[in-house]
């Protein structure tokens, strides 16, 4: 029987009608010929792989749409085809997966197969997933209920704050999504659990805090003092400044090339006069601009104690190290710089990251309005 084929797009799949009562139908993907969407009479849409294997048609259920996206379904289909080409039935693997997998086992697989390979922040996963989820590591992933996860999420919100709760929920959701992609045919129990509403942080050094902050930083030891000043002079992320290497500095072009950033792209950071002066003051005793005082083969890694001393000395509260980066952007906005220029200077990949500074650029707008009113007054006096 001829197969009904179509290029799978979100628009097309969303527009697929339910099957006739008591029936179901399949439509195959043009780009991945063995991948199909099976639609029931209630409108449920599932991705399935249909392939002849060992003399008979084998159907592998991959996941439900839209929980499983089209791209993920295509990748899962290719992975299952690879298993078949190696002489194995993917359904046998799925049954073993379903029978044996605990959350602890999924965590280990998630780290080795995904997080360490694809996430720059994998160390946070390695630390925080066991910190907040180890009490379930002995449980099978199919036995953990949505109600339990909701209660766990609310408890983390109360005990550790809304941001930590959101990050923990995101990690658990990602683990279940990967389990589905790798062969588990259950449903992600985190679906439908809403994250806490987050308020974008807009803290930066205010005009009255600047003199106290400068005095407090200058009272620090050379290494933490230099590091904090470099944060302010470059507006770079904390981790990038900690890992700054001499080989990345172009003294002729007055440029610092960060080879690997949070966004995954290299960034060229212009170095202002004070940053250049600071670099000339720092002795080259290591490949690192800010080497560890205990081991020059490692870079400086623990500015927390120095930062706490600075805040106490300056009498400033609720200021994070990352707020220094925001301070540079904020004062650029106050000085009238465009959002495009601010975004470029901070290495933002999208304009959304820079939108927070728009609310701070009211003073240049006020100056412009004052000038316009002045012209109107001058015209009226003629």
**Looking at the whole model, is its pTM more than 0.75?**
no
pLDDT at 177 over 50: yes
Q: What is the DSSP string of 91-152?
A: HHHHHHHHHH-BHHHHHHHHIIIIIHHH-TTHHHHHHHHHHHHGGGTTSBGGG--HHHHHHH
Higher pLDDT residue, 269 or 22?
22
- In DSSP terms, 64 is beta-bridged to 46
Q: How many CB atoms lie within 10 A of CB 335?
A: 12
Average pLDDT over residues 282-295: 90
pLDDT at 152 over 90: yes
Query: Nearest 5 degrees, angle CA 144-CA 133-CA 238?
Result: 140
Query: Would you say 242 and 299 are in contact if contact means Cβ atoms under 8 Å apart?
Result: yes
Higher pLDDT residue, 341 or 120?
120
Q: What is the spatial distance between Cα 12 and Cα 16, in angstroms, rounded to a whole number?
A: 7
> Model confidence at 345, in pLDDT bands (50, 70, 90)?
very low
Q: How far are the Cα atoms of 64, 103, 170, 193, 365 from residue 142, in angstroms, in the given order?
A: 16, 9, 18, 17, 57
Q: What is the spatial distance between Cα 165 and Cα 154, in angstroms, rounded to a whole number?
A: 8
Give the pair of three-digit tokens for residue 192.
């439908």
> Model confidence at 59, in pLDDT bands (50, 70, 90)?
confident
Q: Tell me which of 15-19, 275-279, 316-320 is least confident.
A: 316-320
pLDDT of 196-243, one tens digit each?
987 666 677 777 888 898 899 999 999 999 999 888 888 778 888 888
> Model confidence at 15, in pLDDT bands (50, 70, 90)?
very high
> Model confidence at 147, in pLDDT bands (50, 70, 90)?
very high
Looking at every residue in the chain, the average pLDDT score rounds to 81
pLDDT at 259 over 70: yes
Average pLDDT over residues 155-176: 93
Please tell me the total number of residues recorded for the chain in this structure.
382
């Amino acid at each position: 029987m001829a197969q009904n084929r179509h290029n799978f797009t979100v628009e097309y799949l969303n527009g697929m009608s339910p099957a006739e009562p008591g029936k179901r139908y399949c439509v195959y993907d043009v780009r991945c010929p063995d991948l199909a969407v099976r639609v029931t009479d209630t409108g449920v849409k599932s991705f399935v792989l249909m392939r002849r294997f060992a003399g008979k048609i084998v159907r592998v259920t991959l996941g439900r749409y839209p929980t499983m996206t089209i791209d993920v379904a295509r990748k899962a289909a290719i992975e299952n085809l690879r298993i078949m080409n190696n002489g194995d039935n993917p359904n046998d693997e799925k049954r073993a997966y379903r029978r044996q997998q605990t959350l602890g086992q999924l965590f280990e697989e998630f780290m080795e197969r995904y997080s360490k390979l694809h996430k720059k922040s994998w160390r946070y996963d390695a630390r925080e997933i066991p910190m907040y989820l180890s009490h379930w590591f002995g449980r099978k992933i199919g036995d953990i209920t949505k109600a339990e996860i909701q209660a766990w999420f609310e408890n983390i919100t109360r005990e550790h704050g809304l941001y930590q709760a959101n990050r923990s929920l995101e990690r658990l959701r990602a683990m279940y999504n990967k389990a589905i992609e790798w062969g588990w045919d259950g449903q992600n129990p985190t679906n439908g659990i809403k994250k806490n509403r987050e308020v974008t942080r807009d803290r930066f050094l205010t005009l009255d805090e600047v003199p106290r902050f400068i005095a407090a930083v200058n009272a620090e030891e050379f290494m933490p003092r230099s590091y904090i000043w470099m944060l302010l002079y470059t507006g770079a992320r904390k981790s990038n400044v900690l890992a700054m290497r001499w080989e990345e500095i172009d003294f002729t072009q007055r440029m610092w090339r960060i080879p690997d950033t949070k966004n995954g792209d290299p960034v060229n950071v212009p170095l202002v006069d004070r940053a250049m002066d600071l670099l000339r003051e720092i002795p080259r005793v290591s490949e690192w601009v800010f080497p560890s005082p205990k081991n020059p083969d490692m870079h400086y890694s623990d500015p927390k104690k120095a930062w706490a001393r600075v805040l106490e000395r300056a009498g400033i509260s609720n200021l994070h190290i990352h707020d220094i980066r925001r301070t540079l952007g904020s004062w650029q906005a106050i000085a009238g710089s465009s959002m495009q220029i601010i975004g470029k200077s901070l290495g933002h990949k999208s304009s959304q990251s820079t939108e927070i500074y728009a609310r701070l650029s009211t003073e240049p707008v006020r100056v412009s309005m004052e000038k316009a009113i002045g012209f109107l007054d001058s015209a009226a006096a003629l």
